Amino acid sequence: MKRTALYIALITFLALTACRDKFTEIFTGNSPIYMTYEDLRLAVRQTTPSDLSNPGKIYFKDDYIFIVEEMKGIHVINNSNPSNPVNTTFIEIPGNVDIAIKGNILYADSYIDVVALDVSDLTDIREVSRVKDVLPYSIPAYDENYPLADIDEEKGVVTGWEIKKVTQELQNNYYPVYGYEDVWNDASTRGDITGGISGNGIGVGGSMARFGITENTLYAVDKVSIHVFSIADPDSLVLRREFNVGWNIETLFILGETLFLGSQSGVSIYDISVPTSPMYISNFWHLTGCDPVVVQDDLAFITLRGGNLCGNNVNQLVVLSVRNLREPVELKTYPMEGPYGLGIDGKTLFVCDGEAGLKIYDVTDPLTINKHRIAQFPEILAYDAIPIDGVLMLIGDDGLYQYDYQDLTNIVLLSIIEVK
Amino acid sequence: MRKASLALLFWLVVITGSAGQQANPTATVPLRTFNGYFNITDIGLLIGSPENSHAAPFSFLIINGFHLTNQFSTGLGLGVEFLSGSYLPVFLDLRYYVRNANFSPFFFFQGGYSVPLDDNYSAVTNYQYDVYWPYTYRNYKAMGGWLLNPGFGIRNMFSDNFGLVFSVGYRNQRLFYRADDDHRLLADYNRLVLRIGILFR
């Protein structure tokens, strides 16, 4: 009797601990194609110039434009003559989305790693340093018409997708995806250019850049964290610290000793007078939306784009006074059609306003910007702009366009590098 | 669930206890002739890990069959079970009694199909990874599925026509679900089955 009860108890115990239900889903979906971590760390290499296919962010340094080919690498364009830009070389960097340059070192993300490349000799670009496994595991854009298959991070990084029949155990994961918010944004602001690729200067990124450099410190933001690297030694990239800075961080912008982090719900301001120790100062909340931001003197310009992946259906330009960094004040908002990136050159603001095209404003009086629209070019559809010294570099689905904007009412097309 | 398990154990004690009272090593077997029609009506629990969404759903079965020999029977079973929805199991029941006696251990095998009584089943599943709510509730149509249930038990007859049956088994149940698109879902249940029932002849 006792033995029987013992058996029953034993079997019940085994059942309770072992009999787990299993749910298997079968569907046609995006099945990941992997690159092993070993291959990833051997994959950076220079190749011959190639056509633009899926351009992302752009970066300007001296006479060169660096165009990110989303998740593939970087096109290097010799732009010493904006009327005749020359596609010089291509740097294969798997998983690349963001870049920043200081001196002759180019810093780029490569999936979960950050790499430093010596670009002093454009015929011999080589990797000089790498910090492994520092960025979140991310996946490339996929065909939204099909669901995603599970991802096995042990197999490596995901370099692409194959549409096929998938059988997998039902479970849920969350990964950030490169290719949605990033690809549609990148505008411009002026950096402090004091040298060439072989010099000591820092290049110019966009208003949607996630990489930024000040002095000997490189900042990289992901959705929730900031990663602070020391770049004092050009040949040695060192992670100093990383910490949480909020939620849905999209952009990073540096002005002097102030760091602005744009998220989908606001702008956070940090003091970086001690570059390796950003100190929180204040936050400005706005309506949810994708928000490139540029700052000029004591004014911050933010474009909010709503819809789909960007939250509310609000499209506007927000002008913020950041004279008192502890208490940013909203000065005014202006309705827009569907703005992407923006850039500023002195008192001239360039807004890539979706289907409404490129808009150019005089922002001398931030309270009457709408009354001082200098020009609008509906035919210029772009999501990324860098205005520098009278040359406006625009990138859109069609490729890289450069305009002479010295006469703001009559900007003149200088050249096109088309997407093929 | 705990109460139900205790109740099953109680009935097990009743069965084995009464068998002990009747046990007589010198008795000659067979004590009875087991042939013809029988009915087993029983209840049970499909016990699995507490982590499962339905840790121990209830099961009610009726088996009508007949003895092919004194020790071997076959029958057809119907019932109601509640595994992420209501199902009507329809199955073939085969039993082999170790002894041709009132009190006898037995082995059994049940195999058949569970017919869904509910239309829909919702499951949370991935659709997009980087949206505000990255999950999609997908509605599936329940299609039913195969069941296999081997096990063993004890029969104790109190009279010619009435007895009690206790059994322990392993249930493998696969259920199919189909969404509007080509998405399909397979649910595999591996459960310990404890049953107590009454036997009529």
Indicate if A350 and A258 belong to the same structural domain.
yes
Residue A12 and residue B192: Cβ atoms within 8 Å?
yes
Q: Which domain holds residue A25?
A: 2-34+139-169
Within-domain flag for A220: yes
CA A120/CA A47 separation, integer angstroms: 16
Q: Please indicate, yes or no, whether residues A157 and A269 belong to a single structural domain of this protein.
A: no
Q: Do A255 and A317 belong to one domain? A: yes
Domain match, A8 and A59 both: no
Instruction: Confirm whether A344 is domain-assigned.
Output: yes
User: Does position A412 have pLDDT exceeding 80, yes or no?
Assistant: yes
Q: Report yes or no on A304 lying in a domain.
A: yes
Q: How far is CA B136 from the centre of its chain?
A: 34
Residue A175 lies in a domain: no
Q: What average pLDDT does chain B have? A: 80
Instruction: CATH number of the domain at A216, please.
Output: 2.130.10.10
Cβ burial A88-106 (10 Å sphere, 16+ → b, else e) = bbbbbbbbbbbbbbbbbbb
Query: Does A359 fall in a domain?
Result: yes
What integer is the mean pLDDT of B143-158?
95
Regarding whether A159 and A17 lie in a shared domain, the answer is yes
Verify whether the Cβ–Cβ distance A172 to B125 is below 8 Å.
yes
CB contacts of A147 in chain B (<8 Å) are 125-128, 183
| B25 CA: distance to closest CA in chain A (Å) | 18
- What are the pLDDT digits (tens) for A270-315? 999 999 999 999 988 765 555 677 888 889 898 888 765 555 677 8
Which residue does chain B place closest to A139, by CA atoms? B129
Residue A174 lies inside a defined structural domain of this protein: no
Residues in B 128-187 with any Cβ partner in A closer than 8 A = 128-132, 134-135, 168, 181-187
CB contact under 8 A, B130 and A309: yes
* Residue B8 confidence (pLDDT) above 60: no
Q: What is the arithmetic mean of pLDDT over B76-100? A: 93
> Any idea which of A195-204, A227-236, A296-305, B64-73 has the lowest mean pLDDT?
A195-204
> From CA B126, how far away is CA A149, in angstroms rounded?
8
Counted across chains A and B, CB pairs separated by less than 8 A come out at 113
Average pLDDT, chain A: 84
pTM of the model: 0.74
Query: Are both A132 and A161 inside the same structural domain?
Result: no
Same domain, A143 and A229: no
pLDDT score of A14: 60
Same domain, A24 and A85: no
Residues A244 and A353 in one domain: yes
Yes or no, beta carbons of A20 and B52 under 8 Å apart: yes
ipTM: 0.75
Residues A27, A41, single domain; the answer is: no
* A119 lies in the same domain as A238: yes
Contact A11 B168 (CB under 8 A): yes
pLDDT confidence of A15, banded at 50, 70, 90? low
How far away is chain A from the Cα of B150, in angstroms, using its nearest Cα? 15
| Number of folded domains that form chain A | 2
Question: Are B124 and A12 within 8 A, CB to CB?
Answer: no
pLDDT, average across residues A34-55: 95
Smallest Cβ distance to A11: which of B50, B127, B192? B192
Q: Quick check: B47 and A309 CB within 8 A?
A: no
The reply to whether A325 and A243 lie within a common domain is yes
Residue A129 lies in a domain: yes
CB contact under 8 A, A147 and B52: no
> B137: nearest CA in chain A?
A172
Q: Tokens standing for A126?
A: 């080589």
- pLDDT class of A176 with cuts at 50, 70, 90: low
Please report whether residue A385 resides in a domain.
yes
